[in-house]
Structure 1
Amino acid sequence: MGSQQTSYQSIEEIVGDLLKLRIPVPAVGEPPLVRLNDLALVSGQKDDQQDSRLAQVIDIKGNRVTMQVLDGTKGLATDASVTFLGHPMQVTFSDNILGRTFNGKGKVIDNGPELSYDTRVLIGGPTVNPMRRVLASQMIRTKVPMIDVFNCLVESQKIPIFSVSGEPYNRFLSRIGIQADADIIVFGGMGLVFDDFYFFRQSFEDAGVLARTVMFVNQASDSIVERLLVPDMALAVAERFAVEEGKRVLVLLTDMTAYADALKEVGIANERVPSNRGYMGDLYSQLARRYEKACDYAKGGSVTILSVTTMPGNDVSHPVPDNTGYITEGQFYLHSGVLDPFGSLSRLKQFVIGKQTREDHSQVMNTMIRFYSGAVEAEQKQAMAFELSDYDQQLLKFGALFREHFMELEVSMELEDALDLAWKIMADCFSADQLLMKQELVNKYFPRINTTGTDADNKTTPHKEAGAIV
């Protein structure tokens, strides 16, 4: 492209971090001088020294080009020259990036060696051809019982954690990244305060998973346009690991509401007409372009996306969670410090439950949720001083045990152990005929307690009168 050698000194306006200039109109039949998302170098003089800054094209109207300067426009004058590079943002990809941390411009920020000689790949490419996808069929174990038992995370799934400010969603996201049985973890942080950034990196390092983790971080003090690049960088790297090396990649993104707010801010600065609550009309498309990168490749590995979406005012009808819900395959609903079993949903769990997991999984899942729903109703009756039946007392006991051994975020156990524990809790609270489960499963898994406190094999069971399950 001719734009790679030509510099333009036709800046008309600098507003905030936006720079607007006019370029010549190409002759008929000639390629355009610049394309959307192309990069450019803005060069000027600062303190009698050459000052070059990277910018990205965010809008083209005729021969008027609007660019976002990544390092800000402070100190730039309208006589600065603009040189288009002829390509969008690129990110480094090789095995050398494992264990490394990059900022929103793709630069190393962990004080390690530069990776200038490694392969550079374009970001923000198209989603995968459906013919190269296969139907989701593999489970990603997380050792979180509220996920593994009740809403399985499936390879190639795209699913958000809906939460509100103040909830421990970052802690929960890092724990899933540490415990998930994925080959590679790609982390994308958007608008993180330094404490959160440090927490994620230290957590991965302390758990010994940093060596298989790549981090792209945009801090709250960084440019907002870098915030828009972080998901594309993380997903471009994840795709390469999945396609070229056959890896099972889990992408962690936080917080997609901060990403959407950055889209809104850039759109308003570019004088675009806002839509619902100030967000641009293409919010759905922008989110979908990123989430649809989740894929199980027919010839290769997989990319699974787990994100955080904060809901301002706990309003699920807010444009960001509302649009996200139409794109993703369910959601994990985190509030009051626990995963809500009623608000959470994995639409792909039926592809693995009972197929990759134990035969009793589906029945245990449904029965436990049914009993917990009854426990919530019994608690409401108790709060209103209604008379409680013996069955209500059983439900109250079950509800307390369920919260303690399943819903607490600190609980960690393998799926099979969680299923065994579920049977023990149900046996501690209900008789076999109250379960309303398939009789062959009850005969096989229901703990048989006799009057001596031992099971049918004459082994001491964890059953205790006080209801404590060990």
Structure 2
Amino acid sequence: MIEHTGILEINGDIVKVRAKDVGYEELAIVSNPDGDQSLAQVIRLQDDVVSLQVFSGGKGISTGATVSFTGKPMQTVYSYNMVGRIFSGVGNPIDGGPDLATEREVEVAGPSINPAMRVLANNMIRTNIPMIDIFNTLVESQKIPIFSVAGEPYNQLLARIGIQADADIIVFGGMGLTFDDFHFFTTTFQNEGVFSRTIMFANLASDSIVERVLVPDLALAVAERFAVEEHKRVLVLMTDMTAYADALKEIGVAMDQIPSNRGYMGDLYSKLAFRYERACDFKGAGSVTILTVTTMPGDDVTHPVPDNTGYITEGQFYLHDGVIDPFGSLSRLKQLVIGKKTRDDHSAIMNTMIRFYAGAKEAQKKMAMAFDLSDNDQKLLQFGELFKKRFMDFNVDIRLDEALDLSWRTLAECFSKGELLMKDELVEKYYPEDVHAAADEDMNESEMADSAAEAEDQEVGVASS
């Protein structure tokens, strides 16, 4: 390899040097005079001036350093030996286990997937979380974010989905994680027994931001290989994509790029889309499903990161006040599996439950404003409390068919058949008569007790007179 001397500029993690016959995204080795070496990648070519981002950061690099180009793009190890391991933002093991340098390497951020190899999404990924399985079904090969704000348990939700989802391999990518979050994910996956099928790439908040922007590419490259070559159903979990976008912004500022919206570069959409579009159900092979966390600064959905994400992805899970909000959440692909890969009452139950919960929210407003409540309002309030308790907590672990049965039972505890406004054949097939009969019996006993008490009061009154 030819060594290039005379570094022109060092700006943060960006190093500029003069060189020719260099390719975009080519790897390079920056060597200090004292023998220290750092890995870097080409991120801009302007005439004979090459800009490189140094993975370990520009601190400690002198202008007397030399740069050698390797002639190949960024690559990562791919092997079954990666399963149950933890790697850094550049793919190096950080769990104290053996080095995998001799294993096969695959290209990171390679060409886009051939559209002819894509299969229309038609399989459900069961998570045993009712607010997802019933109301916002996660579909295999879907790309969907969790929209939330700081302080919400979005990482707990992401981990819960990873633990309970029916996937063969889990690939986790953490960007800008605090040590507490990193420790939470590792211990949770280990304690819940899924670490043996999990591959983790972790960039901590104290690590280089250059490594942060590589994490999605490393995770998706490995996930794609497991899906294509091993025919595995791979679930990719990544947090936080806003930290990823902030790292892109910081690198762009160091490169003197002109910002577009709120300091973010104009290519933010294409950067996000290139990563999200790796989600795919491969023809004759496995699939890659992408689930990410996108935090919204100030709970502002018009912020550039969630705003661009919404145009790319197929819905979102909106985590609000510690629960998955049924009104803010959306899965655009759920219609491909509801009633086709699930029970025939799934769609009707989903719509009816949300309709009654919306009514319960209106009844709560009436009660808060001291309006008189009708009998129907009282029923709606009872239903709303049961709905939140039985379905909205994402820690609930219940299979889909059991959740559908529980939905019917909840409806029967609050409403009669005629009040459901559902198809007669579904009501006759699934409505649990024993629940409503027991409720009627309790009501009759209560009415009889009230009548007896009223008669006794009348007898006391007569005797007194």
Fold agreement, TM-score > 0.5: yes
Q: 2:9 aligns with which of 10, 13, 19?
A: 13
Partner of 1:68: 53
Supply the AA of the counterpart residue of 2:168. D
In structure 2, stretches of 5+ residues that fail to align are 447-465
Offset at 1:343?
0.4
1:400-435 CA distances to partner (integer Å, 9 max, x unpaired)? 000000001221100001000000000000010000
Partner of 2:364: 379
Partner of 1:29: none
Supply the AA of the counterpart residue of 1:12. L
Are 1:444 and 2:432 counterparts? no
SS of alignment partner, residue 333 of structure 1: strand
Q: Aligned partners of 1:159, 1:451: CA distance in 2, in Å?
A: 39
Are 1:107 and 2:92 counterparts? yes
Q: Aligned partners of 2:218, 2:175: CA distance in 1, in Å?
A: 12
Q: How does 1:417-436 map to 2 (within 5 A)?
A: 417-436=402-421
Are 1:341 and 2:322 counterparts? no
Partner of 2:103: 118
Partner of 1:259: 244
Q: Aligned partners of 2:199, 2:129: CA distance in 1, in Å?
A: 23
Q: Aligned partners of 2:412, 2:92: CA distance in 1, in Å?
A: 56
Are 1:273 and 2:258 counterparts? yes
Q: RMSD between aligned alpha carbons?
A: 1.6
Q: Aligned partners of 2:232, 2:294: CA distance in 1, in Å?
A: 26
Q: Aligned partners of 2:321, 2:378: CA distance in 1, in Å?
A: 24
Partner of 2:118: 133
SS of alignment partner, residue 140 of structure 1: coil
Q: How does 1:79-228 map to 2 (within 5 A)?
A: 79-228=64-213
Partner of 1:353: 338
1:301-352 CA distances to partner (integer Å, 9 max, x unpaired)? 0000000000000000000000000000000000100000000000000010
Q: How does 1:311-330 map to 2 (within 5 A)?
A: 311-330=296-315
Q: Aligned partners of 2:60, 2:405: CA distance in 1, in Å?
A: 65
Offset at 1:454?
9.2
In structure 1, stretches of 5+ residues that fail to align are 25-32, 466-470
Q: Aligned partners of 1:10, 1:63: CA distance in 2, in Å?
A: 13
CA contact (8 A) 1:10 1:23 kept: no
Partner of 2:348: 363
Q: Aligned partners of 1:342, 1:7: CA distance in 2, in Å?
A: 59
Offset at 1:88?
1.8
Supply the AA of the counterpart residue of 1:284. Y
Partner of 1:28: none
Structure index of larger Rg: 2
CA contact (8 A) 2:413 2:439 kept: no
CA contact (8 A) 2:136 2:330 kept: yes
Offset at 1:453?
2.8
Partner of 1:27: none
Supply the AA of the counterpart residue of 1:432. K
Percent identity reads 64
* Closer/same/farther in 2, CA of residues 69 and 451 from structure 1, 3 Å limit: closer
1:188-229 CA distances to partner (integer Å, 9 max, x unpaired)? 000001110111011111111111100001000000010010
* Closer/same/farther in 2, CA of residues 352 and 93 from structure 1, 3 Å limit: same
Q: Aligned partners of 2:281, 2:88: CA distance in 1, in Å?
A: 28
Q: 2:22 aligns with which of 34, 44, 48?
A: 34
CA contact (8 A) 1:18 1:269 kept: yes
Aligned length: 444
Q: 2:396 aligns with which of 406, 411, 427?
A: 411
CA contact (8 A) 2:56 2:210 kept: no
1:124-169 CA distances to partner (integer Å, 9 max, x unpaired)? 0122111111100000000000000001000000000000000000
* Closer/same/farther in 2, CA of residues 452 and 233 from structure 1, 3 Å limit: closer
Supply the AA of the counterpart residue of 1:7. E
Supply the AA of the counterpart residue of 1:217. A
CA contact (8 A) 2:412 2:436 kept: no
Q: Aligned partners of 1:155, 1:177: CA distance in 2, in Å?
A: 14
Q: Aligned partners of 2:223, 2:58: CA distance in 1, in Å?
A: 32
Offset at 1:452?
6.8
* Closer/same/farther in 2, CA of residues 308 and 128 from structure 1, 3 Å limit: same
1:375-412 CA distances to partner (integer Å, 9 max, x unpaired)? 00110111111111110010000000000000012211
* Closer/same/farther in 2, CA of residues 88 and 441 from structure 1, 3 Å limit: same
SS of alignment partner, residue 317 of structure 1: coil
* Closer/same/farther in 2, CA of residues 14 and 352 from structure 1, 3 Å limit: same
Deviating more after overlay: 55-64 vs 443-452: 443-452
Partner of 2:377: 392
Supply the AA of the counterpart residue of 1:23. A
Deviating more after overlay: 10-19 vs 194-203: 10-19
CA contact (8 A) 1:20 1:65 kept: yes
Q: 1:310 aligns with which of 295, 318, 341?
A: 295
Q: Aligned partners of 2:436, 2:332: CA distance in 1, in Å?
A: 43
Offset at 1:450?
7.7
CA contact (8 A) 2:413 2:435 kept: no
Q: Aligned partners of 2:291, 2:435: CA distance in 1, in Å?
A: 45
SS of alignment partner, residue 438 of structure 2: coil
Supply the AA of the counterpart residue of 1:75. G
SS of alignment partner, residue 67 of structure 1: strand
**Under a length normalisation based on structure 2, what TM-score does the superposition of the two structures give?**
0.93
Supply the AA of the counterpart residue of 2:350. M
CA contact (8 A) 2:26 2:73 kept: yes
Structure holding more helix per residue: 2
Partner of 2:42: 57
